[in-house]
Each structure stands twice: as C-alpha cells, then as structure tokens.
Structure 1
Amino acid sequence: MSSFAAVFARTPEGWVGAEAVLAEAADADDVADLMREAAVESYGDPVLLLVEEEDDWFAVVRLDGQEEPRAYVSTVREDGLGPLFHQLVGEVPDGAPGGDPALLDDLGVDAGGLADLGERSLPGDALLAVAERAGFGEEFDRIRD
C-alpha cells in the first residue's frame, strides 16, 4: 500500500515542511516523538502531520507545544498505517471518520470543512486543500512533487 506523510511546522518566518517516515513508528507515541523532533529542529509551533494512504483515507495530526497530539482521520482503518492513529482518535468503527475535526479551526479549516473534505474529496486533494487554507500550500506542493 502506497502512503505519503509530511510534517509541517509554523515558524516566525512561515511554514516549513519535510517528508516524514512512518515505517518504523509502532504507535501514537512514536508519531508524537517524530513531530516533537520536527518542532525542535524548526522552532515551530504548531506542528502538523499530514498522512495519506493509497487514495483511501487521510489523517491530520496536530501537536501544540508539550500538549498531547490531537488527530482527525477521514476513514479509520485496521490495516496499513491506520493502527498508528487509533490511540489518538479513540474507539471508532472501521470505515468511519474519527478524532477531532475542529483541530484546525484556528488555521482556517473549520470542523465542518474538514469533515466535508473527508467525505467528498480524494485524500490527496483533501490534504492539499488543508495545506492551502492553513497557509502552506506551496510548501506542501514542493514536498509532494
């Protein structure tokens, strides 16, 4: 199964991003550690992780300072990278959306908009829309290409 993951951090100079490698992540704590490393390297806050798996689903994970990460998953899955996010979204039936759709409200993506993207868009298109609304569309495109 093909996947894409990138981490973005907002710095005083703007958003910076880098591709993220989730292959060695075993659980949500590993995902949070990866995001904290990005925050330290870039002095960024907040830090967002955008994940797409095989045109099937997407996830957005947000980390603010030392708080616990919050996530929204468009379609919770039991296979592929899906289990990494179960701890962050709680008990959700396979195939249903899960997590906190309001996690990007302050970045220009309201809860209804994020849920709508999950229902009506391909995962790659949804993540591009999230990136554009939050202000890092060009950085997302640079990493994605």
Structure 2
Amino acid sequence: MTERRNHRYAVAVAHRDDHWQCTRLDRTALTGLDEAVGAVRDAGSGDTLCGLFNADEAFFLILRPAPAGTALLLSDARAAHRHTLAAQALDALGAALPEDDAPDGLPAGDLGILTDLGLTAEGMAAVLARPDALPDDQLRTIAQRCGFAGEFDRVKA
C-alpha cells in the first residue's frame, strides 16, 4: 500500500489555553494572497499565530497577519512563474521575479518569521536548504521544530 500524501492544503495555527490548535482552511485560501490572509484571520481570534500553505508540492508559504502588516515567507520564488499565490506573495514582498531557470530553492521573505515559536532564521534556512525535501516534508519539519507537529499532522491529513 502506498502512502497517501496531501499535496494541497492550508492550515491555520493557534496557541490557545496552553495547547496548540490547528485548523484546516478551505482550499480557496490557496487561490490568492488576499484569500490566504483572510482565511487565516477568519480562522480564530487574535491567538492565531500563522498560516501554512502547501501548493501542489511546488512551494510552501507561511504568513503571519499582524495589525502592522503581514509577514511572509515563500519557500521558492520561482513558483511565482506558475502560481498566483506565489506571484502575489512575491509582489507583496517587493521581491524581483527570478529567472525561471534559476537554481532550485530561492526563498523570499522573512526567514525569522517563526523565531518566537522556536525556529530561528538559521533553522529555517536549514529546512529550506534540503533540496530533496518536498514542501509537505519541510512544513512537517517546521511544525515539529515549533512544537505542533501532532496537531498539524492530524489536521492536514
């Protein structure tokens, strides 16, 4: 039997009453940046910390809405050539669109986006530097290092 893998999902992560809570978001959250930010904001109250988005194993996006703006981390800026969500995230970051044939794994955004959850910028760079890892594997590693892997796995399956 082959392992079933979910290659397209969006998850909001919150910390409530001393425990982690992950909420599966509707797939429409993957259609554009406004939809993604709105879905994460609508997922709960002010204790929602971030949204994790896996788009067909082409890239992942982490976003953290805040009153002063939304922090973003796009795992591979080259995905902006083919995916609206990635293109809009890259645009919001003010980053240049890389050549389509640029080297694999060109992250854009804030590598320290989850530092307060226990994953430093250096740790995030190490996760992103694994060329053989799919975005789902990378997000699982991120969830594990931040302490919410069990809840994340339950919700994204």
Bin of the TM-score, shorter chain as denominator length? 0.7 to 0.9
Q: Provide the TM-score with structure 2 as the length reference.
A: 0.76
What is the identity, as a one-letter code, of the residue corresponding to 1:51? F
Change (3 A) 1:98 1:26: same
Secondary structure at 2:44's aligned position in 1? helix
Equivalent pairs: percent with the same residue? 25
Aligned equivalent of 1:85: 89
Aligned equivalent of 1:61: 63
1:30 equivalent to 2:35? Answer yes
Aligned equivalent of 1:144: 156
Aligned equivalent of 1:44: 47
Q: Provide the TM-score with structure 1 as the length reference.
A: 0.82
Distance 1:89 1:107 in 2: 22
Shift of 1:24: 6.0
- What 5-or-longer segments of structure 1 have no aligned partner? none
Q: Is the 8 A contact 2:28 2:35 kept in 1?
A: no
When Rg is computed on C-alpha atoms for both structures, the one with the higher figure is 2
Distance 2:15 2:29 in 1: 25
Aligned equivalent of 2:22: 17
Distance 2:144 2:71 in 1: 20
Change (3 A) 1:18 1:136: same
Aligned equivalent of 2:3: none
What is the identity, as a one-letter code, of the residue corresponding to 1:21? D
Q: Is the 8 A contact 1:28 1:87 kept in 2?
A: no
Structure 1 stretches of 4+ with a deviation exceeding 4 A read 24-27
Superposed CA RMSD in Å reads 2.2
Distance 2:54 2:31 in 1: 17
- What 5-or-longer segments of structure 2 have no aligned partner? 1-6
Secondary structure at 2:73's aligned position in 1? strand
Q: How many residues align?
A: 140
Change (3 A) 1:23 1:29: closer
